[in-house]
Amino acid sequence: MKLSKPQLIVNGKRIDGRGPQDLRQIKIEVGVLKNADGSALVEIGGTKVLAAVYGPREVVPRHQEQVDRAIIRCRYRMLSFSTLGERKSPAPTRREIELSKVIREALEPAVLSMQFPRAAIDIFVEVINADGGTRTAGITAASVALADAGIPMLDLVTAVAVGKVDGVIVLDLNEIEDMYGEADMPIAAMPSLKRITMIQLNGVLTPDEFKKALALALEGIDKIYQLQKEALRKKYVEIEE
C-alpha cells in the first residue's frame, strides 16, 4: 500500500488544474550551448531537460565504428539534485541505463545514419528538474538538438506520455500522476510519417483503453511537434536576417 494516495481527479480537473486532455505549458529553446553541434532545452511543466548533440564525428574508441553507418550513442541521466527528496547518487542507475537505450531506439529510426559511415553521433540528455515525463521531454529535446546540429533526419521525433489516473485516460502525466496513477505510457513518434518509434507501458490497460490512450498521445504529439518546428524556425530565421 502506497502512503496516502491523493485524489488525482476532482470535478473532472487534474491535480494541477488541467483537463484530462491538456498538455502542460511547454517551452522549447534551440541552441542553448555554444560548444555542442546542436542543443535544445525543453521545459514542460516542472520538467526541464537539456539535450546536446555532437557529431557526426570520429568514433573513439575505434572498434565501435561500423563500416556502413554512423553509430548513435546516447546517455540519459538525471542530475543529482533533479528529483524531489534525497540526492540521487551520480552513479548510473539501472533505470538510466534502460532509458539511454530506449531514447536511442526512439531516435534511431529518424536519423539517416547510413549517410555517415564510420562516424558517431553522440546524444546527451541531462534532466535538470524532474516532474514526470523526463524521457519524453528528453526525446523531444534530443530530436530538436539533432536538427540543430544539422543531422539529416526523415522527420523530427516527438514524445509524450499518456496514462490512466483515477480511471480517466489523461495526457502528459506529472510526477504525482505517474506515481499514484494506474498506468503510464510514454510514446514517441515521427509525426509527419505517423511512425511510432517508442512505446512503453507501465501499468494496466484494457485493449479499449489502450486504443483511446494511443490516439490521445498522437494528438498531443502533433501539438508538441508544431512547437518544435516553431522553435527551430525561430532560431534559423533570426540568424538569416
Partner 1 sequence: MSLTPEIPVIPKIKLDSILNVVSKGFHIDKRPLLNYRSIEVNKNVAPNADSSVLVKLGHTQVLVGIKIDVGQPFPDNPEEGVLIVNAEYIPAASPSFEPGPPDENAIELARVIDRSLRESKAIALNKLVIIPGKKVWIIWLDIYVLDHDGNLLDASMIGSMLALAQLKIPYFEVDPVTGNVKVDKSKRITSLPINRYIATVTVYKIGDVLLVDPTAEEEAIASASLSISVSEEGNIVGMQKRGLGFFLEKEIEQAIEISLNKGKELIELVKKFAL
Binding site for partner 1 (CB under 8 A): 1-3, 64, 66, 69-75, 94-95, 97-98, 100-105, 108-109, 113, 122, 183, 185, 190, 194-207, 210-211, 214, 218
The residue among 121 and 231 lying less far from partner 1, judged by its C-beta, is 121
Q: What is the DSSP string of 139-194?
A: HHHHHHHHHHTT--BSS--EEEEEEEETTEEEES--HHHHHHSSEEEEEEEETTTT
Cross-strand pairs, 183: 164, 203
Least CB distance to partner 1 at residue 241 (A): 37
The nearer residue to partner 1, 32 or 201, going by C-beta atoms, is 201
Give the residue with the Cβ less far from partner 1, 147 or 221: 221
Map grid coordinates 494506474 to a residue. Answer: 182
CA distances (Å), origin 18, targets 15, 24, 92, 162: 7, 8, 34, 14
Nearer to partner 1, 28 or 185 (CB): 185
In angstroms, give the least distance from the CB of 42 to partner 1.
20
Judged by beta carbon, residue 102 or residue 170, the one nearer partner 1 is 102
Cβ at position 4, least distance to partner 1 in Å = 11
* Shortest distance, position 211 Cβ to partner 1, whole Å: 7
User: Looking at beta carbons only, is 198 or 224 nearer to partner 1?
Assistant: 198
Closest CB 25 distance from partner 1, rounded Å = 28
Q: Is the bond preceding 152 in cis, omega lying within 30 degrees of 0?
A: no
**Cβ 146 to partner 1 shortest distance, Å:** 14
For residue 215, the SS3 value is helix
Is the CB of 29 or the CB of 168 nearer to partner 1?
168
What are phi and psi for residue 238, nearest 5 degrees?
Answer: -60, -40
Smallest distance from the beta carbon of 209 to partner 1, in angstroms?
8
- Cα dist from 231 to 7, 9, 63, 75, 145, whole Å: 36, 33, 37, 24, 11
Kindly tell me the burial class for residue 241, based on how many C-beta atoms sit within 10 Å of its own C-beta (0-12, 13-18, 19 or more).
exposed
* Residues 123 and 51: beta-carbon distance below 8 Å: yes
